[in-house]
Amino acid sequence: MIRLSETWQRTLVAGPLALLAAVVVLATLPHLIPEGAGRVDNLVLPVIAFPLVWSATFFYACIADNISRAAAVLAGLTAAGLGVIAHSLALI
């Protein structure tokens, strides 16, 4: 197995993985945020949050001390999000 340098590991986690986690959070939020009085909060608020969520996942991956743990946290977030979506769709 090829062992990646720390820079490469970090690039992969802060790049594709942070983006994937942010996109999954974007898709998950409509199932978690109540639709509100105008019936649009669950649609609009995730879209607004997306740039902020991505910034958060990106900087977390950049700053985290332990890159493997950061990878695990972001992968966990992605998995949890997918779980929520699957659960909501199954309920419908």
Partner 1 sequence: MSFLDQKKTKRLFAIHGWSGIALGVLLYVIVLTGAVAVFAHEIGVWSVGGAANDKGLTQPVDRIIRGLADKVDPKYRDDVGAYTVESGALSVFFHTHETKPNGDIGDRGVRFLVDPATGSVLSRAEGWSSDIYGQDQASALKRFLIDLHVQLYLPSPWGLILTGILGLAMMVAATSGLIMHRHILKDIFVAPRPGNLLLHARDRHVLAGTWGLPFAFLLAFTGSFLSFAFTIGMPIVSMSAFGGDKMLVGEILGGHAQTEDKTPAVVTNLDAVLADGQQRAGSAPTYIHVGHWGRADAKVGVWFEPPAGDLGFLQLGFNGVSGAFEGQKPRVGSKPSFGATASSVLTALHYGLFAGLLSKIIWLSLGLASCYVILTGMVMWFTRRREDPAWAPWTRMVPAIGYGLPLAMLVSAHFYFQAIGRSDTATWTPWGFALATLAVIAAAVAMSDRVELTRRLVLATAISAGLLPLARMMAGGRSWGEAVAIGEPVVVSIDLLLLIAAAALTWHWKGSPQPQWLRRRLAAAAQPEPAE
Which two three-digit tokens encode residue 87?
């659960």
Shortest CB 1 distance to partner 1, Å: 25
Site for partner 1 in 32-71 (CB under 8 A): 36-48, 50-52, 54-55, 58-59, 62-63
CA distance 51 to 22: 8
Nearer to partner 1, 80 or 85 (CB): 85
CA distance 81 to 31: 10
The dihedral built from the CA positions of residue 90, 31, 63 and 9, taken in this order, carries a sign that is: positive
Residue numbers at the binding site for partner 1 (CB under 8 A): 10, 23, 26-31, 36-48, 50-52, 54-55, 58-59, 62-63, 85
